[in-house]
Amino acid sequence: MNVRIRDWQDKRVWLVGASSGIGAALAKTLIARGARVAATARSQDALDALVGKKGLAVAADVTQPDALAAAYGRIRAAWGGVDVVVYLAGTYKPQRAWELTVADARRHVEVNLMGVYHLLPLVLPGLLAQKSGAIAIVSSVAGYRGLPNSLAYGPTKAALINLAEALYIDLAPRGVGVFLVNPGFVETPLTAQNTFRMPALISAEAAADEILRGFARGEFEIHFPKRFTRMLATLRHLPYALYFPAVRKSTGT
Ligand SMILES: NC(=O)c1ccc[n+]([C@@H]2O[C@H](COP(=O)([O-])OP(=O)(O)OC[C@H]3O[C@@H](n4cnc5c(N)ncnc54)[C@H](OP(=O)(O)O)[C@@H]3O)[C@@H](O)[C@H]2O)c1
């Protein structure tokens, strides 16, 4: 569905949300495969330690469009542009309906969703002019349907799935790939706060490998681990009368 990306040698890759977890693992793997990696997140120290002298550590808060634009300006000044952009910045706070606050909801929307809208106008003109390259958006299987503890997080991830689909329709015919990444549970600082058992939990390194395998296959949706995400894909198509009892049973809520 997308042009396959197999050879990362000298590819200019911008990872947004790369100071820890899946983004950091992806940065290390890509550097090992010869890519030029620009890493963005809020913590400059973590980015410096991650990419060292081999890449660009460009700190920015994705909720601040000017800061993100300045980060992209530094990348463009160094490399002239980018080939692949991966949006991984995300925040997650598990909460039930009676714990939800407006501030929490707003933070999820700002980081998980609005950050992409801040990013797209920066990178799209260059990618469209090149008629090549790709944008990958890391959403989640939590965006498929409503799940417990996901009142602020889930809707942002559902929106990202819809956004990636709409982007694909516009960009693929113009030579720019769009990849939607939907992980299951990955062991990272983000999920460390979960107190429930996470089925089919995988490491951040395994997640990075899955993402690169998906790029190599040119898949629009890269989802993993399949033993978990296939089950959620089935749940996605159940009628509500079956979906809600199945979720209650499998999550104990
Ligand atoms: N772990 C999972 O099981 C799982 C499952 C499905 C989807 N995902 C998604 O995968 C992505 C990566 O998550 P992860 O699990 O690797 O968690 P993580 O280790 O917490 O990584 C989140 C990244 O986002 C960055 N970030 C957060 N707020 C930011 C902001 N305002 N501006 C710039 N960067 C910001 C963080 O860096 P700073 O704090 O330094 O800014 C960090 O680099 C997220 O979108 C998450 O929703 C994760």
Fold of 12-251: Rossmann fold (3.40.50)
% pLDDT > 90, the chain = 95
* Mean pLDDT on 113-127: 98
pLDDT tens-digit series, residues 173-192: 999 999 999 999 999 999 99
Residue 161 pLDDT: 98
Judging by beta carbons within 10 Å of its beta carbon (0-12, 13-18, 19+), is residue 187 exposed, middle or buried?
middle
CA dist list (Å): 173 to 1, 47, 191: 11, 34, 36
CA dist list (Å): 35 to 4, 8, 88, 130, 208: 16, 5, 18, 18, 14
Query: Taking the alpha carbons of 241, 245, 246, 251 in that order, is the dihedral positive or negative?
Result: positive
19, 87, 157, 168: which is the annotated catalytic residue? 157
Cα–ligand 1 centroid distance for 220 (angstroms): 21
Cα–ligand 1 centroid distance for 229 (angstroms): 19
Tell me the pLDDT band of 18, cut-offs 50, 70 and 90.
very high
Whether the CB-CB separation of 89 and 21 falls below 8 Å is answered with no
Is residue 228 in contact with ligand 1, taking CB distance under 6 Å?
no
pLDDT tens-digit series, residues 48-105: 999 988 899 999 999 999 999 999 999 999 999 999 999 999 999 999 999 999 999 9
pLDDT tens-digit series, residues 189-233: 999 999 888 999 999 999 999 999 999 999 999 999 999 999 999
The answer to whether residue 171 scores a pLDDT higher than 90 is yes
Question: What is the residue extent of each domain of the chain?
Answer: 12-251
* Mean pLDDT on 134-146: 98
Whether the CB-CB separation of 233 and 223 falls below 8 Å is answered with yes
| 3-state secondary structure labels for all residues of 126-171 | HHHHHCCCEEEEECCHHHCCCCCCCCCHHHHHHHHHHHHHHHHHHH
Task: Clarify whether 93 is annotated catalytic.
Answer: no
Give the integer Cα–Cα distance in Å for 36 and 10: 6
Task: Clarify whether 139 is annotated catalytic.
Answer: yes
Task: Look at ligand 1, atom 37, and give the residue with the nearest C-alpha.
Answer: 41
Which atom of ligand 1 sits closest to the CA of residue 185?
3
Residue 252 pLDDT: 86
Enter the DSSP assignment of 83.
S
Is residue 19 in contact with ligand 1, taking CB distance under 6 Å?
yes
Give the integer Cα–Cα distance in Å for 135 and 119: 10
139, 144, 150, 168: which is the annotated catalytic residue? 139
pTM reported for the whole predicted model: 0.98
Which atom of ligand 1 sits closest to the CA of residue 63?
31
